[in-house]
Amino acid sequence: MSAGAAFAADDEEGAPAKPDVPNIYLDLRTTYATIPAGTLGLGFGGTSLSAAFEALATRRGVTLPNGLPTAKSIAVDLPLTVDVSDRVSLYGGVSGSTTDVGGGWSSFDITSWNIGVQADLYQQNGGRIPTITLQSTLTQSVPNEQGMTTSFNHVLEFDYALDEDETRGWLVGVQYTHTDIASQLARIKPNTILYAGGYYQWPSNWKFTGRLGAQSFGGAQIAGRTLADSFTQPILRLDLDRMDDNDNRLFGVTAQIAWMPKPSYQVTLRTPLYAVRN
From CA 69, how far away is CA 100, in angstroms rounded? Answer: 10
Indicate whether 47 pLDDT > 70.
no
3 or 204, which is more confident:
204
107 or 19, which is more confident:
107
Please report the beta strands in the chain, taking only residues with DSSP state E, as ranges in sequence order: 7-8, 18-19, 23-26, 29-35, 71-83, 88-100, 109-122, 131-141, 149-161, 168-181, 186-188, 191-201, 206-217, 220-222, 225-228, 231-243, 249-259, 263-270, 273-276
- At residue 3 the predicted structure's pLDDT band, cuts being 50, 70 and 90, is very low
Task: Return the DSSP state at 70.
Answer: P
Residues in the chain: 278
Indicate whether 57 pLDDT > 90.
no
pLDDT in tens, 152-211: 999 999 999 999 999 999 999 999 999 888 877 778 899 999 999 999 999 999 999 999
User: Which among 43-47, 177-181, 238-242 has the top mean pLDDT?
Assistant: 238-242
182 or 244, which is more confident:
244
Indicate whether 38 pLDDT > 50.
yes
Burial grade of 116 (CB within 10 A; 0-12, 13-18, 19 or more): buried
From CA 179, how far away is CA 277, in angstroms rounded? Answer: 35
2 or 129, which is more confident:
129
94 or 38, which is more confident:
94
pLDDT at 11: 43
Percent of the chain with pLDDT over 70: 85
Average per-residue pLDDT in the chain? 85
From CA 54, how far away is CA 182, in angstroms rounded? Answer: 11
Instruction: Report the range of poorest mean pLDDT among 10-19, 36-45, 87-96, 186-195.
Output: 10-19
From CA 174, how far away is CA 177, in angstroms rounded? Answer: 10
- Distances, alpha carbon 52 to alpha carbons 65, 153, 163, 167, 221, in Å: 21, 15, 41, 36, 17
Contacts of 127 (CB under 8 A, 6+ apart): none
- Distances, alpha carbon 92 to alpha carbons 79, 80, 136, 248, in Å: 5, 5, 11, 19
pLDDT at 7: 35
Instruction: Report the range of poorest mean pLDDT among 3-12, 18-27, 150-159, 189-198.
Output: 3-12
Indicate whether 65 pLDDT > 50.
no
pLDDT at 253: 98
- At residue 52 the predicted structure's pLDDT band, cuts being 50, 70 and 90, is low
Indicate whether 8 pLDDT > 70.
no
From CA 69, how far away is CA 62, in angstroms rounded? Answer: 8
Domains in the chain, start-ordered, CATH in brackets?
7-276 (2.40.160.40)
Percent of the chain with pLDDT over 90: 57
CB 229 within 8 Å of CB 38: yes
- At residue 49 the predicted structure's pLDDT band, cuts being 50, 70 and 90, is low
